[in-house]
Structure 1
């Protein structure tokens, strides 16, 4: 068995917007820092992006601050990676499945520029 090491040097840049009490959106340009060795978006980068958009919705317009009370901590993530993309921009839309005082569940869909569904993430959040 061969051994070796690989160095990864990248960053994840994206923007997120709280649209309303029922929806948050985000965009993430596909760039070198988020690509896997095959040239498509790394699954972890796509899931991270979707999780941040879902958390933005769960925050309900509140800006997060270090150590804040009530941060909507994700306690469960279920990701279905349906497809992938090598260029363009990823688009995410998060909407509540259930919005409760203690437990909220959010469905976040990530699509490509041409509207192809790439990821469906369901996350459950509780106030920390």
Structure 2
């Protein structure tokens, strides 16, 4: 098993707001995010999906330390459905509920081949 320090700084991805109803992200599969079996670590998949969901919930606002209204995740439900050892992963986040107090987002992470790897649902409330 690798020394945990070898994983530091290897999780690299990009997210962006596509519309008021959708955010997308991409993450290359690379050394440093792989588990001992050579596929993407479940934690890397979840982190990637959660940040993409947060990008949608922020609706274009720039996150900053201590900001009011930051969409804090209060519940995360993840289903790892498949995995891969290569390519570029894509995350698609869409609203399930866009309320004044509670926001629920569903995010799917897919492989280059279109196979769903992760189905993530997050519930968010705004920070004070």
Indicate the TM-score class for this superposition, using the shorter chain for normalisation: over 0.9
Structure 1 residue 56 displacement after superposition:
0.3
2:48 equivalent in structure 1: 49
Q: Aligned ranges for residues 8-19 of structure 1 at < 5 Å?
A: 8=4, 9-10=6-7, 11-19=10-18
1:97 equivalent in structure 2: 96
Aligned residues: CA RMSD: 1.0
SS at match of 2:124: strand
Over alpha carbons, which structure has the higher Rg? 1
Moved >6 Å (runs of 4+)? none
Which TM-score applies when normalising by structure 2? 0.94
Within the alignment, does 1:75 sit opposite 2:74 as a pair? yes
Alpha-carbon distance in structure 2 between the residues aligned to 1:104 and 1:69: 15
Within the alignment, does 1:38 sit opposite 2:37 as a pair? yes
Alpha-carbon distance in structure 2 between the residues aligned to 1:101 and 1:60: 13
Deviations 1:71-113 (A, max 9, x none): 0000000001000000001100000000011100000000000
Alpha-carbon distance in structure 1 between the residues aligned to 2:111 and 2:70: 29
SS at match of 2:45: helix
2:19 equivalent in structure 1: 20
Alpha-carbon distance in structure 2 between the residues aligned to 1:6 and 1:35: 10
- List alignment gaps of at least 5 residues for structure 1: none
Which TM-score applies when normalising by structure 1? 0.94
